[in-house]
Amino acid sequence: MPGPADPLWIILAFAFGAVVGSFLNVVIWRMPRGESVVSPGSHCPHCHRALVWWENIPLISFLALRARCRTCHGAIRWRYFWVELITGLTFAGVIRLFGAGVDGAAYCIFAAALMAALAIDLEHYIIPDSLNTAALFAGFGRDAWGIATGKAGHELYWGWLPRSVGGAVLCAGVFVAIQALGLALFRKDAMGDGDVKLARAIGAMLPLPLALVSFLFAIGAGAVIGGAMCLVRGNPRAAETPETGSADGPADGTMPEPTPWSVMAAAAALYLTFSDLIISAAAACRIGWARAVVAWWEHSGDDEDHEFVPAPTQVPFGPFMVLGAFLAIVFGDAAISWYLGWAGFGQGT
């Protein structure tokens, strides 16, 4: 068996990533349209002929068929090729960084879900819940494994709160605060619920400092790219980037003893952060009381219009959060120690 950083594993990860990228292409096209991602199988978007197996080989088929359908010669979008290539490179990079183990697998799932979220949000201004949930559970799963095997970085806060759960609550909280602030100041949604759920997943997966750095990267990238896009489109109004939450890092090592109030506050924060998942789980269980809760929940959502119609100049924020998360995973630690050195705190730990 090759070791974790063996080149063979990295090559295998690239090949596997390209296959997953091929599936992500299906997800990116079908999920926002409410179609099944498993059936029917891949077909030509022009003549709807089902593809045979050798037309479905990631990267190779696309190049061999010169971006055209074999029979009707309709053009196939280059996006299919790029998604396969980028997913392959990302998986190879993940295995290089985290090794071919549980960490690497969890980060591959997380990255795949985030890439699909990026592509869908760019085009449709939504992030499907199932992608955010997949990313969230990649974070929970990795943390659970780390706790079970006693790995460093997976300690329990106050002896009971998993790091991933605490990070998810805090990061979702930061984004809900930004949402409330945007609503109060501008009377419009600065953040969609999809952004809050994405922040929750990033908080569950990344170590807390990196998660917060990823939001700063996202806001920076949003300001630069969003501003540039608005200059190109010639509309100054859209140069407004989403409000930044100057997220203060947590004070390390100072954990107060729990009091009844703090326990209740913690329970409330946990409930508010995960209520959608709790409700879904209850719905899946189909027990009597849960059915009543679900009926109430569905009814209470009736008057809300969940269809989000973007303003023509609006730039979705999700893609910047995905970009920020990827940058933070690769450069976050270096950015933090550079900043600490620059600010005169010496080298960060």
Residues lying near Zn ion in the complex (CB under 5 A): 44, 46-47, 69, 72, 74
In the bound complex, what is the minimum distance in angstroms from residue 83's beta carbon to Zn ion?
A: 20
**Residue among 52 and 255 whose Cβ is closer to Zn ion:** 52
Q: Is 84 exposed, middle or buried (0-12, 13-18, 19+ CB in 10 A)?
A: buried
Closer by beta carbon to Zn ion, 66 or else 187: 66
- The Cα–Cα gap between 229 and 313 comes to 9
User: How many CB atoms neighbour CB 151 within 10 A?
Assistant: 14
Nearer to Zn ion, 44 or 322 (CB): 44
Shortest separation between residue 41's beta carbon and Zn ion, angstroms = 14
Nearest residue (CB) to Zn ion, 42 versus 280: 42
Would you state the structure tokens that stand for residue 35, as one six-digit string?
A: 């179609």
Of the pair 44, 135, the CB lying nearest Zn ion is at 44
Nearest-approach distance from CB 65 to Zn ion, in angstroms: 10
* Min CB(124)–Zn ion separation in Å: 25
Nearer CB in complex with Zn ion: 73/188 = 73
Shortest Cβ 50–Zn ion spacing (Å): 10
Least Å from the CB of residue 197 to Zn ion: 37
205, 110 Cβ separation under 8 angstroms: yes
- Least separation, in Å, of the C-beta of 61 and Zn ion? 13
Name the nearest CA neighbour of 294 among 305, 285, 304: 285
Residue-wise DSSP of 86-106: HHHHHHHHHHHHH-SSHHHHH
In single-letter form, the type of residue at position 83 comes to V
The amino acid that residue 60 corresponds to is I
CA-based nearest residue to 192, from 250, 129, 145, 237: 129
Task: Pick the closer one to Zn ion by CB: 74 or 236.
Answer: 74
The neighbouring-strand residues paired with 50 are 43
- Token pair, residue 104, equals 């690497």
Provide φ and ψ at 304, rounded to 5°.
Answer: -80, 135
d(CA 168, CA 171): 5
